Chains A and B, each alone.
Chain A
Amino acid sequence: EIVMTQSPATLSVSPGERATLSCRASQSVSSNLAWYQQKPGQAPRLLIYGASSRATGIPARFSGSGSGTEFTLTISSLQSEDFAIYYCQQYNEWKTFGQGTKLEIK
């Protein structure tokens, strides 16, 4: 099973600043990597697929990069609605999720 490791577990950032979240795979997943956002009491929402493609309706301040085993989700200028938990998921070999990064207001 491919293990996905996200860092940091919690990230404190001020509104308007940039946030950088990391995701590492235990073996190469090529570009078969998705990012999801989850707010309290809600289902996850697809943000990024194919490591760098934004899903429909996702603002341009969200961007994804990386391939192989190292991936990054960047939120360029944090808005109040962006504070949430973010999960990465690989779908190269079955599907496994990272444990999540909680993005909180500093």
Chain B
Amino acid sequence: QVQLVGSGGGVVQPGRSLRLSCAASGFTLTNYGMYWVRQAPGKGLEWVATIAYDADYKDYADFVKGRFTISRDKFRNTLYLQMNDLRAEDTAVYYCAREWGSGSYFDYWGQGSLVTVSS
């Protein structure tokens, strides 16, 4: 069955970097658009980044543009989020999510990885 397993979260100082991973099973990443969505403590859901099924298109929320990079490894069937120059306001649980079809809803979500940016 479809599974998304996130990893790579942790505590990091401001200005440092962290890479999140999202290992997919039960389907092939290259057939779906994939997203990162975050949720700050006690807050709602916020889109962070997306990569199209063919990886030709990537986009980022303005608040992470130039600092975060979304990518995938088709051989490992794994999605990544490289986060550089982290700020306190980036503290959140980061979820990977699969887009059912282009321009569609999220049908599967990973369990989330907590990133805490603190000195």
Contacts and interface: CB of A to CB of B under 8 A. Distances in A.
B100 A49 contact: yes
B80 interface: no
A44 B44 contact: no
Contacts of A43: 95, 109-112
Contacts of A36: 45, 106
A18 to B, nearest CB: 25
Q: Chain B, interface size: which category?
A: 10 to 19
Q: Chain A, interface size: which category?
A: 10 to 19
A99 interface: yes
Contact of B44 (A49, A55, A87): A87
Given A43-B110, A91-B104, A97 B95 contact: no
Interface string A45-60: 1100100000100000
Given A36-B106, A94-B47, 17 more contacts: A34-B105, A34-B106, A36-B45, A43-B112, A44-B95, A44-B109, A45-B109, A46-B107, A46-B108, A49-B100, A55-B107, A87-B44, A89-B45, A89-B106, A97-B45, A99-B44, A100-B44
